[in-house]
Amino acid sequence: MAKVLIVEDEFTIAMDIEQRLQSMDYEVMGIAVNYNEALPLLLNEEIDVVLLDINLEEEKSGIDLGKLILEKFNIPTVFLTAYTDRETFLKASAASPMGYLNKPFKDSDLDHGIQLAIQRFAELKSKENSSTSVEVKKQDDFIFIKDKGQLKRVALKDILWVEAMDNYTIVHLKNQKFVANTFLKDMIHLLGDGFARIHRSHAVAIDKITAIEDNLVFIDEVYITISKSYRSDLMKRLKLV
């Protein structure tokens, strides 16, 4: 079952949601009451979907957090709210949630909302990548990615990081990206020892890392999460331990 993060500032509601999710065999990865508490959980845990209260009683709202999750963590969100007015709905839409549940909700609503959010998110990413390559081949210090009917040659030294997206791998260069029809683990094997997996969804070119801060790897201005399970291996490969 999916791994869920709950962001809800009313403790009794959060606990109720957790118990209901567990009874449906979901794995609850943590509970946060605000934006700041949610960040370390997003950085450290592998999460499939976030249940997010719109009206967090803090300076930064659930909508602010939802925008960050979409932009930096690439995880689907389902908004929870007791408000049904159009203004709230329109504000929440700016964060592109994959679901919207009005409180109180039934177990079936919660279950279906999570499953639909994950499915919609996967379908959305698949459509975005509809012009992707169909194969990847390696030759010396290059890989060839089929893109729009052409085999494009990409130098390994130009690749900054790679990112899993369903059954595809997005290959990021400085000012360009390609999408390859291959799983991330197979792409990492193809790229070789110059790349390190730092998250179930990301691997980076070791020589392109410009900084490491807490659980973030920086490649110039871009930052990518390191999950706990991969951090020690990365530090060893960088000879920092």
Is residue 24 located within the same domain as residue 95? Answer: yes
Confidence (pLDDT) at 183: 85
Is residue 93 located within the same domain as residue 62? Answer: yes
151: three-class secondary structure by DSSP: strand
Is residue 77 located within the same domain as residue 153? Answer: no
Is residue 72 located within the same domain as residue 150? Answer: no
Confidence (pLDDT) at 126: 65
Say how far apart CA 235 and CA 237 lie, in whole Å.
5
Is residue 11 located within the same domain as residue 116? Answer: yes
Q: Is the omega angle on the peptide bond into residue 104 within 30 degrees of 0, that is, cis?
A: yes
> Which structural domain, as residue segments, surrounds residue 184?
136-237
Is residue 149 located within the same domain as residue 114? Answer: no
- What's 218's domain CATH number? 2.40.50.1020
Is residue 8 located within the same domain as residue 89? Answer: yes
Q: How many domains does the chain have?
A: 2
Residue 208 CA to its chain's centroid (Å): 21
Confidence (pLDDT) at 163: 92
Is residue 21 located within the same domain as residue 83? Answer: yes
Is residue 17 located within the same domain as residue 79? Answer: yes
Contacts of 198 (CB under 8 A, 6+ apart): 204, 217, 224, 225, 226, 227, 230, 231, 234
Q: From 128, 151, 179, give the residue that closes a domain.
A: 128
Confidence (pLDDT) at 129: 52
Q: What are the 10-residue block averages of pLDDT along the chain, 241 residues in total? A: 91 94 95 90 88 83 87 87 80 85 91 92 68 63 79 91 85 89 87 91 94 91 88 88 73
Q: From 111, 128, 145, give the residue that closes a domain.
A: 128
